[in-house]
Chains A and B, each alone.
With several copies, the nearest count.
Chain A
């Protein structure tokens, strides 16, 4: 029997409108006092004189969604959060576009700072997501998280 986990992935970049709409949705939750949002943006790194133009994301999706689920559970156990959302891009995300959106909310600010950093670090370390850095000349190299 296979458990199905919430799908964290979105095809292509995460738009600023989507992020704005996500913030607006929380205005009915009047127990919230503090939101903290992390956005990962694709950087035009220069490597050996060639600039990155885009990252093409792939993932071992079933395992990644399970990991995202586990990270959520652990984060809710560790910190006093009202809610939490994670979205990660798949496919091509150009430089300047957003590929990761993590959103945590709590009655109080102390919790959101610790929780957000915890979640982002866990994603970088544990989620089987792979990034192909595409250069302007269409050559590529594989990204590795530091």
Chain B
């Protein structure tokens, strides 16, 4: 399935883009991470969390095809 992946802050610097559409099989988030580490090796050294459909998810959560965001540490305020 096609999934839009958004990158924010320092992670957009690492990947060189603020979003991309990836072709992925149905997989838990852990599978997505493996995929991203291959495509953007720089992510491996980075601290980040993943949101699906604007909610933080864990490694075990299955991808649903909804928007994914790769989020560096928060720095609001």
Contacts and interface: CB of A to CB of B under 8 A. Distances in A.
Indicate whether A and B are direct neighbours in the complex (CB within 8 Å): yes
Interface range, A side: 20 to 34
Given A63-B55, A128-B51, 5 more contacts: A60-B69, A60-B71, A63-B54, A128-B69, A129-B77
A132 B73 CA distance: 12
A130 B51 contact: no
Interface string B1-32: 00000101110000000000000000000000
B72 A142 contact: yes
Q: Is the interface of B mostly helix, strand, loop or mixed?
A: loop
A130 B8 contact: yes
Contact of B73 (A40, A60, A120, A145): A145
A94 interface: no
Q: Is the interface of A mostly helix, strand, loop or mixed?
A: mixed
A124 interface: yes
Contact of A128 (B8, B10, B77): B8
Contacts of A58: 8-9
A20 B6 CA distance: 37
Interface residues of B, number: 15
A40 B76 CA distance: 9
Contact of A127 (B6, B69, B76): B76
A43 to B, nearest CB: 11
A46 B36 CA distance: 35
Contacts of B75: 129-131, 142-145
A66 interface: yes
